[in-house]
């Protein structure tokens, strides 16, 4: 029974982290780009409005900054592929 309670708590924490990450991506605090090789790279918007590379181990700190109110200056709009490329 204790194991089930621990697993339930971990599931709730994981769901909350996933939802918070989606919110940060939606509001432009985080940016996720896929390289041509298929690898995904994560970027965080700084206070000057420019994006900087974010290692995966720094994601909890970036989410904390998002929750604490470090605002993104403007929303990010994705453009379509250039010259018809995919």
First-to-final CA distance of the chain:
50
Beta-carbon-side half-sphere exposure of residue 64 (alpha carbons within 13 Å): 5
Q: pLDDT tens, 20-66?
A: 999 998 988 898 888 788 888 889 888 777 888 888 888 888 888 88
Instruction: With a cut of 90, say whether residue 73 has pLDDT above it.
Output: no
Half-sphere exposure for 31 (CA within 13 Å, toward CB):
18
The pTM of this model reads: 0.68
Pairing of β 40-45 and β 51-53: antiparallel
């Amino acid at each position: 029974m204790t194991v089930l309670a621990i697993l339930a708590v971990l599931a709730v924490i994981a769901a909350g982290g996933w939802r918070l990450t989606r919110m940060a991506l939606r509001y432009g605090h985080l940016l996720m780009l896929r390289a041509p090789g298929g690898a995904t790279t994560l970027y965080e918007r700084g206070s000057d409005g420019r994006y900087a590379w974010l290692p995966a181990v720094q994601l909890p700190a970036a989410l904390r900054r998002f929750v604490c109110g470090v605002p993104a200056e403007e929303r990010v709009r994705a453009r379509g592929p250039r010259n018809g490329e995919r």
